[in-house]
Amino acid sequence: MNAHRSILLGILAATVVLTSAHATTGVVDNNSASATTESSEALISKSYDFLESGDSELALDGFNAVLKEDATNLSARLGQAMIFSDQLRHEDAFSSYDLIIKAYPNNAFAWNGRGLAAFNLEDFDEALSSFKKATSDQPMNGFFYESLAWVQLCRGDYSEAALAAKRAALLYNHNGETPSYPLLISYFANLSSGDKSEAAIALKYARNNKPANNQWPTPVFDYLAGIINAPDLISYVRDTAQETEAHTYIGLQLRSQDKAEVAKMHLDWVAQNGDERVFEHMLARTLVRKQADKVALLVQ
């Protein structure tokens, strides 16, 4: 899975920011207090080493130990929030990020982390406001705009989603990254709003600017362009994240072709079995729920 698809992308960069801020505030002369600070900083550093090596449990134990002594330690709180996110403990992650923004109300990384937690809790209003704050505080981060576009797509705000996705794509390009997912959002947002010409432009651009060596999600673009069929697309899948994405995009494409029943099979599969780590899982869940709500209203 591409690095920017991780739920933690963008949040890691805040480590240096918050650690530096914490280390340069609240200087005291008391020797015991200084010793405690040095001990906390050593434990935080060790905990981040554990986190980077993949041992999130030991890392979380370290962060929690620091927070037990000093609940205001932002470096430890950030580490805790990142691990909660990675463990899909979305309520805990939201609470941790919420504490961070109360102390650092202009920290864009924490706002985006808070938005991701809210998104995964299906609180799209809270996610929307958090992502808007993140993009306002750091307007040059493509992932923040991609996050905003996803929640707008889930809300059915298709024109706004297309605009945010376009901004994300421009920023990814500016940073030398391939804007595959913002272009997919743009394609389906424009299709959903009835602007087929803009959707075609997004797909053409995506196919002309594919990832190196035809890496994923290149097969998705080929499927949307009609070059390969759905079974062919599934054959390219290599992990649960790609499988989730493939079924979601097949379902969305079939919906756009008024093949609702076949589309439902793919979206239902994602909603029930998909990988929760990717945005597409929540999008499929949302579409399935909205359809169920419509059916329920019809039979009343």
The answer to whether 103 and 131 have CB atoms below 8 angstroms apart is no
List Cβ neighbours of 283 (8 Å cut-off, separation of 6 or more). Answer: 150, 153, 154, 248
For position 8, what pLDDT does the model report?
45
The CA R_g of the chain, rounded to the nearest whole Å, is: 21
Amino acid at position 274, single letter: G
Query: In which residue ranges of the chain is pLDDT below 50?
Result: 1-35
For position 295, what pLDDT does the model report?
77
Q: Which two tokens stand for residue 173?
A: 């390009």
E-assigned strand segments in the chain? none
For position 37, what pLDDT does the model report?
65
Q: What confidence tens digit (pLDDT) does each residue in 174-184 have? A: 999 999 999 99
User: Which phi and psi (to 5°) does residue 229 adopt?
Assistant: -100, 180
- Which residue from 135, 70, 69, 142 is spatially nearest to 106, judged by alpha carbons? 135
Q: What confidence tens digit (pLDDT) does each residue in 135-174 have? A: 999 999 999 999 999 999 999 999 999 999 999 999 999 9
